[in-house]
Homo-oligomer: A and B are copies of this chain.
Amino acid sequence: MLPFARITIIGLGLIGSSLARAIRAEMPTVRVTGHDADPAVRDTARRIDLCDDITDTAGASVTDADLVILCVPVRAMGAAAAELADDLPADAIISDVGSCKADVLAQLVAALPGRTIIPAHPVAGTENSGPEAGFATLFKGRWCIVTPPADADPVAVERVAELWRRVGADVEMMDPAHHDLVLAVTSHLPHLIAYTIVGTASDLENVTQSEVIKYSAGGFRDFTRIAASDPTMWRDVFLANKDAVLEMLQRFSEDLSALQRAIRWNDGDALFNLFTHTRAIRRSIIEQGQDDAKPDFGRAH
């Protein structure tokens, strides 16, 4: 039995549009309605036939929904929820796909008091943005972390979990605060570091930007991929998950200082030991199917 019959997706970027495609591919009888605040995105979504219906207002998109999934930047969640509050059916479940959960849950509870709110976070994506960047298989073999509030209805939680399983994800339950700490290290800190190093490299006076681009295959290009991710989405993530991000950043800076000191004092053994240790992590990630085993991410050679 399908977990939902009429799903509304608010925000038709990479994740929202991938979810629309995945639902239509895996559950063709579900009616998918979409809305995006940007008229140009709505036009594109209509042109590529992304949903069964695209509405011009958020309210019109939810009037008969049994699930509404907000796929907007994390600091826009509260406003997006407030906009559809008056039109939301009493028994509809509200969910989202945001990269931080404690802050989003607080926003949704404030905007929709008394409603059934089951936040979730599919840990998947690419560096591209917009309705045309999405694809139906984005969530296959990836984890989706569902972070229900402590008093959530178990049936509602299971329906949201089942939706993600249907589009190919493995589902894990987690406390929102713990989610935010885990993602601070596995996702937010890496993005922050990547944005920083790409900024540093493009801002030197003794090495030109064209040299940086030309010789990027030495390692730098790997960082440019996630540093090409959506600026609005990521600005919001860092501000909404500030405490956890700053904590992880502090630890990273300490470790970097230790390495800097090892280089300055020619401590080759300290470097060698760390570099041997980090190899094992890569191996585990590949063994668990979370990355391609092919060298160089499988890039064409």
Contact = CB atoms under 8 A, between A and B. Distances in A.
B235 A186 contact: no
Contact of A301 (B140, B222, B238, B291): B140
Interface in A185-200: 185-200
B186 A220 contact: yes
Interface centre among A191, A193, A259 (most CB of B within 10 A): A193
Given A218-B123, A272-B235, A282 B252 contact: no
A145 B292 CA distance: 30
B290 A192 contact: no
Interface string A205-233: 01101011111111111111111110110
Interface residues of A, number: 108
Closest 3 CB pairs of A and B: A187-B218, A231-B275, A126-B295
26 contacts: A123-B215, A124-B217, A125-B218, A135-B301, A137-B301, A140-B301, A143-B215, A185-B201, A186-B211, A186-B220, A188-B219, A189-B200, A190-B219, A192-B259, A193-B193, A193-B197, A193-B256, A195-B278, A202-B277, A224-B291, A225-B282, A227-B279, A231-B275, A239-B266, A297-B298, A298-B299
